[in-house]
Amino acid sequence: MDDLGPDPSPRHLDHCPWLFAEEASEEQRAAQRERQQSLGGDSRVGERCYVAGSAAVYPDRLRLGNDSYIAAHAYVTGDLTTGTDCTLNPFTVVRGKVALGDGVRVGAHTSLLGFNHSMAPDRPVFRQPHTVEGITVGNDVWIGSHVVVLDGVTIGDHCVIGAGAVVTKDLPAWTVAAGNPARAIRDRRDTSPGRTSGPRGTGSPPDGERALDGALALFAETARAQAAGILDRCWDGERYADRPGVAPTVRAHCDAVEIADLLLGGVPGQLSAEEHVARLAGRQDAGTGLVPEFGEAAPVPEADGFIGEGPALYHVLCVGYALELLGASFPYPVRGVRDMTARQLIARLDGLPWRDGAWGAGAWIDAWATAAHWNTRRAGGDGTEPGALEALFGWLLTRADPWTGMWGSPSPESGRLQVVNGYYRLTRGSFAQFGVEVPHPSKVVDAVLDHARDARHFGSGRENACNVLDVAHPLWLCTRQPAAPAGSDGYRSAEIRAWAEHRLTLALSRWQDGKGFGFGPGSSGPGPEPGLQGTEMWLSIVWLLADLLGHSEALGYRPRGIHRPEPARRPGRWP
């Protein structure tokens, strides 16, 4: 492993040259001066620059401005001029005639090709002469990873080019562009409400599919670049809060773990993995197996041994999945679920508020089934009383409304809100988590699409993360059931795609730089201010919506926690 201490290895500096100014030893500084002096051609290198030893730099003419660097394995030939504070990241290719302004960032594996081949039919391609028009890039430009910019292109000041784009034509100043060929998505100066960052529209031009991939890649690259700062913003020095100025919560810590896993492929940097595990696992009460909120005692179980409401119900989900992402698990079983008999479970299910509180009923089943899942994994056996899991699925399968595929009743006040939101929570913890097919999937799609037209919950400015997730996940789940085939010929696929595309456009537009996503309006949830809960939920929603459209791979991330698409328990392993 490379030395990450105060005297890093040359290889480490090649890949992280921004560390050179502060961390290089005198020996390494002398080696860098020698490296710069040995560059061929007509080369001039400014102050505080770095040229990686592993980079292949063979210019005819090079002018590298102050505070600029060329990182590991870059390939530079021809005539390159840069302003100050320019970066060519690892594996970039710059050939032909290229001029960069000040403050240009070029992502890894990007190619700036300031020359071209002729292709007259009178000779083989390899014997064709080169033509050179050159590439000109303005000031304050961010070119993402895996971008290709072709000869003759001018990119104006302040542009942002999404990862994977192929730029074939000039882009005016302030353009945010993506796709192959690259198309303008929006103007970077547009700061109207909900437009602080992220590409606004996916559109439907002839190359709309490629533009969507570019928009998703640009969004994901933005989110990754800002993820560490968002987590640090919500760390008060001791614990995580959903957002600055509010009290720390157990859920906020779990949301931080999920965000770091999703975007950074690791753990939040405020603590080591072992410290994260110790704090979360240490919250579990040994007597009940439940996790109370900070400052609260463990909840008192009801007569059947489990609880009916409160933060500890959701902590069964969020703490359990956070520990799993950290490579750990609950130290104790959730005893009320482990010891509940099938008869007690049926009595509890019959008594849940299906008529006027279907969301709460679904949330209870989600917590009970997830506790059974953790108990089973921990114990190596069923983790529940004999017949309890069978009783759960038997009750659900025989109580599902054959006209809607759901449980509970709509109301004049809120329409299907309680029923649909309860369906998501119920099926997430039971059918989806255990890999069991849901009943009546086509009827569910009908009911969910009907609910998604309710302006009380999905009118302009009224949707929140909970309500959008609770439509997106049932549509995703049901269109992947054998009884409701997915794809272009799937059941109501055109309507599903139209809804997903519209909601995805809105979701991407709501990212706020340095803060993430707000949960959204409504009496439930933390509100519209950006925070960890909103960010964790909307990142998962974006994945689900993109996957409904067949474009989730462009994001480069896939949920592995509470909102994971795969069953936590594979069919055939239960019962």
Token output for 424 = 């998501």
Same domain, 123 and 268: no
CB atoms within 10 A of CB 69: 25
Same domain, 439 and 303: yes
Q: Is the pTM of this model over 0.75?
A: no
Same domain, 518 and 413: yes
Domain-located, residue 334: yes
Which three-class secondary structure state does DSSP give residue 154?
strand
Distance CA 257, CA 270 (A): 11
Same domain, 350 and 470: yes
Distance CA 438, CA 532 (A): 31
Q: What CATH number does the domain containing 347 carry?
A: 1.50.10
Which pLDDT score, from 0 to 100, does residue 247 have? 97
What is the residue-level pLDDT of the chain in tens, covering all 575 positions? Answer: 333 344 455 667 888 887 887 788 888 899 999 999 999 889 999 999 999 999 999 999 999 999 999 999 999 999 999 999 999 999 999 999 999 999 999 988 999 999 988 777 778 888 878 889 999 999 999 998 889 999 999 999 999 998 888 999 999 998 988 888 888 887 887 654 333 333 333 333 334 567 788 889 989 999 999 999 999 999 999 999 999 999 999 999 999 999 999 999 999 999 999 999 999 999 999 999 999 999 999 999 999 999 999 999 999 999 999 999 999 999 999 999 999 999 999 999 999 999 999 999 999 999 999 999 999 887 555 588 999 999 999 999 999 999 999 999 999 999 999 999 999 999 999 999 999 999 999 999 999 999 999 999 998 788 899 999 999 999 999 998 875 544 445 788 889 999 999 999 889 989 999 999 999 987 778 999 999 999 999 999 999 999 999 999 899 999 999 999 989 865 444 44
Domain-located, residue 463: yes
Token output for 445 = 């799609």
Domain-located, residue 285: yes
Range of the domain at 21: 10-155
Domain-located, residue 81: yes
Same domain, 124 and 267: no
Same domain, 427 and 543: yes
Q: pLDDT tens digits, residue range 328-366? A: 999 999 999 999 999 999 999 999 999 999 999 999 999
CB atoms within 10 A of CB 435: 15
DSSP lists the bridge partners of residue 178 as 183
Cα–Cα distances in angstroms (integers) from residue 240 to residues 243, 246, 270, 514, 517, in the given order: 8, 10, 10, 16, 16
- Residue that is last in its domain, among 114, 137, 155: 155
Domain-located, residue 524: yes
DSSP per-residue codes, 511-564: -BTTTB-B--SSSSSS-SSB-HHHHHHHHHHHHHHHHHTT-GGGG-----STT-
Distance CA 340, CA 354 (A): 21
Same domain, 419 and 533: yes
Burial class (CB in 10 A: 0-12, 13-18, 19+), 306: buried
- The DSSP symbol for 431 reads I
Domain count, the chain: 2
- Cis ω on the peptide bond leading into residue 353 (within 30° of 0)? no
CB atoms within 10 A of CB 229: 12
Confirm if 219 and 212 have CB atoms less than 8 A apart: no
Same domain, 241 and 99: no
Same domain, 150 and 238: no
Same domain, 405 and 511: yes
Residue 197: which region, alpha, beta or left (left: phi > 0; alpha: psi -120 to 50)? Answer: beta
Which three-class secondary structure state does DSSP give residue 358?
helix
Same domain, 148 and 271: no
Q: What CATH number does the domain containing 73 carry?
A: 2.160.10.10
- Residue that is last in its domain, among 99, 134, 155: 155
Domain-located, residue 258: yes
Burial class (CB in 10 A: 0-12, 13-18, 19+), 269: middle
Domain-located, residue 566: no
Domain-located, residue 191: no
Q: pLDDT tens digits, residue range 71-121? A: 999 999 999 999 999 999 999 999 999 999 999 999 889 999 999 887 777
